[in-house]
Amino acid sequence: MICPNLKCRSVLSVPDHARGKKVRCKSCGMRIGVPMPSSNNPVEGEALEKEPQQAKSG
Ligand SMILES: [Zn+2]
């Protein structure tokens, strides 16, 4: 993840166990909340069944 501090923008390597916790940027010392891994991310590798769309005109 990247430090949200616009004056810093330092790339932070966040370990897996730090998910959902807060880490401190080594560069600027800002405390940053680490987002959880599965939230708004689209899940890849899952085959979705396609339903046949039937258009009715009436
Ligand atoms: Zn920073």
- The Å distance, Cα 5 to ligand 1 centre, comes to 5
- The Å distance, Cα 41 to ligand 1 centre, comes to 24
pLDDT (tens digit per residue) in 1-50: 899 999 999 999 988 899 999 999 999 999 999 988 665 555 566 666 67
Q: Indicate the pTM of the whole model.
A: 0.56
The pLDDT of residue 39: 52
- Domain residue extents for the chain: 1-35
- The Å distance, Cα 26 to ligand 1 centre, comes to 7
Taking alpha carbons only, the member of 9, 8, 34, 2 closest to residue 20 is 34
The rounded distance, in Å, linking the Cα atoms of 35 and 15 is: 12
